[in-house]
Amino acid sequence: MSDIVIRPVAAQERRQWEPLWLGYLAFYEKTVPDAVTDFTWQRLVDPAHPIEGLIAWQGDVALGLVQYLLHPSTWNRGGNVYLQDLFVQPQARGKRIGRRLIAAVTEISRAKGAGMLYWQTEEFNGTARRLYERVAKRAPFVRYNIEL
């Protein structure tokens, strides 16, 4: 799919970004208040904020998104990049768009001098996990949450 272009989210692209964001939330059977979606969008397009995003495009159609952030680490000098959200429209799956979005974040992470790029997914997400097993090493950590 050489006609796929991956580039940073631009301020005028909210109309294309939002269906991807809502599709991502729906996949995980989650909802957030509209105010959180608004806040997330504002952070994505604020160059001073550490959350960044990329969209995969085919022409003027947004097919996928990835959102990530660089944060400090006590284990290295360059910090780590956390790939927080990755979503590809169902009709575009199987076209290596997810792999290309991860590769783009990998290159950005290297350019930022990060020591590690990492992410997580839910156990039931077998399709994504098959991709992740091909492009990364599975971490041995078990995650615990305290909702605040």
The Cα–Cα gap between 61 and 57 comes to 6
Q: Which of 28, 82, 118, 132 is catalytic?
A: 132
Q: What is the DSSP letter of 43?
A: H
Give the count of beta carbons closer than 10 Å to the beta carbon of residue 78: 15
The Cα–Cα gap between 91 and 112 comes to 33
Longest dimension (CA), the chain: 44
Helix 97-111 crosses helix 126-135 at what angle (to 10 degrees)? 50
- 132 labelled catalytic: yes
Would you please indicate which residues are annotated as catalytic (active-site) residues?
Answer: 132
